[in-house]
């Protein structure tokens, strides 16, 4: 097959613009399992966004669950970028018209107070660089119809990014046991997802160390002020129009994502699970 990075990026852009998901990219425009080429598509997307005036504010980590890695046939996480216009204030209404097939998951956000420019990053490096932690809800989304994704589909699609919500009460890293931090995500007072920090590569610190080294080797190191969404603490949940979701994380407090009653731009049932 002929690899066409620009055609793949254009297909994803058209899905954003039209609100209609596109078919999977694998075996059409990108070779199955070719993660490097998928990241080239992602970078083409990001470059266009920056030219259009959007601002990078950090990064997100996906595929931190061993179960999902096994399902997709990979042995490491993936990553995408966070942009300023993806941030939603805690408790503010999210317009579902901005999204195609949204799901929510609870995460721990790291706010960096120092650069992490090293290609080999230790846990101590991450501890020293972390200014504070915040509870977060990532609103994941996919431009691929029915969430029919492989590793190349999600990587090219900015790691299935959508929006994100951060809590507003920062906590010091030293005050939180990240591995044992319990999480419950509630809808209408009922738990819809539960988990803990240990579900995220054994500890969210490990996920951030992996990300920092990976992006540094790619020439795009994490910088002071960046926000890092460190990966899901429990299974993601499809969004119900008009619903409010509240994530409570031990030692970090809570954060809420509230959705408009109108439907997403495209509503299609896809598989749920970890991301």
Q: What is the pLDDT, as a whole number, of residue 10? A: 95
Q: Classify residue 271: in a domain, yes or no.
A: no
> CA angle, 54 as apex, 52 and 58 as ends, to 5°?
145
Residue 272: inside a domain, yes or no?
no
CATH code assigned at 179: 3.90.850.10
Has residue 265 been placed in a domain?
no
Tell me whether residue 275 is in a domain: no
- Phi/psi for 11 (5° steps) reads -60, -40
3-state class (DSSP) for residue 209: helix
Q: Is the pTM of this model over 0.85?
A: yes
Percentage of the chain lying above the pLDDT 70 cut? 95
Domains in the chain, number: 1
Task: Please give the torsion angle defined by the CA atoms of residues 116, 109, 258 and 265, in that order, rounded to the nearest 10 degrees.
Answer: 40
In the beta sheet, which residues pair with residue 254? 248
Q: Is residue 76 part of a domain?
A: yes
Q: What are 64-83's pLDDT values in tens digits?
A: 887 677 777 777 899 999 99
Instruction: For residue 36, give the nearest of 201, 210, 208, 218 by alpha carbon.
Output: 218
Is residue 264 in some structural domain? no
In a domain, 107, yes or no: yes
Angle at 13 between CA 167 and CA 8, to 5 degrees: 115
Tell me: the pLDDT tens digits for 197-256? 999 999 999 999 999 999 999 999 999 999 999 999 999 999 999 999 999 999 999 999
Query: Is 268 a member of any domain?
Result: no
Range of the domain at 101: 5-259
């Amino acid at each position: 097959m002929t690899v066409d990075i620009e055609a793949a990026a254009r297909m994803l852009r058209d899905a954003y613009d039209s609100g209609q998901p596109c078919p999977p990219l694998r075996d059409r425009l990108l070779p199955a399992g070719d993660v490097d080429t998928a990241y080239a598509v992602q970078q083409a997307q990001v470059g266009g966004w920056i030219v259009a005036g959007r601002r990078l504010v950090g990064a997100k980590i996906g595929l931190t669950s061993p179960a999902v890695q096994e399902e997709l046939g990979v042995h490491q996480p993936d990553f995408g970028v966070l942009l300023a216009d993806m941030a939603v204030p805690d408790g503010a209404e999210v317009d579902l018209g901005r999204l195609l097939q949204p799901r929510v998951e609870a995460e721990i956000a790291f706010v960096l107070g120092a650069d992490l420019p090293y290609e080999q990053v230790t846990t101590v490096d991450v501890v020293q660089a972390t200014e504070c932690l915040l509870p977060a809800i990532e609103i994941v989304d996919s431009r691929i119809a029915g969430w029919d994704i492989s590793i190349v589909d999600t990587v090219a699609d900015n790691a299935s990014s959508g929006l994100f919500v951060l809590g507003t009460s920062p906590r010091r890293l030293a005050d939180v046991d990240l591995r044992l931090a319990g999480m419950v995500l509630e809808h209408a007072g009922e738990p819809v997802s539960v988990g803990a920090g240990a579900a995220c590569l054994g500890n969210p610190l490990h996920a951030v160390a992996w990300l920092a080294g990976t992006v540094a080797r790619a020439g795009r190191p994490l910088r002071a002020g960046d926000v890092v969404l460190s990966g899901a603490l429990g299974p993601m949940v499809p969004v119900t129009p008009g619903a409010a979701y509240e994530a409570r994380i031990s030692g970090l407090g809570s954060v809420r994502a509230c959705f408009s009653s109108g439907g997403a731009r495209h509503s299609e049932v896809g598989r749920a699970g970890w991301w």
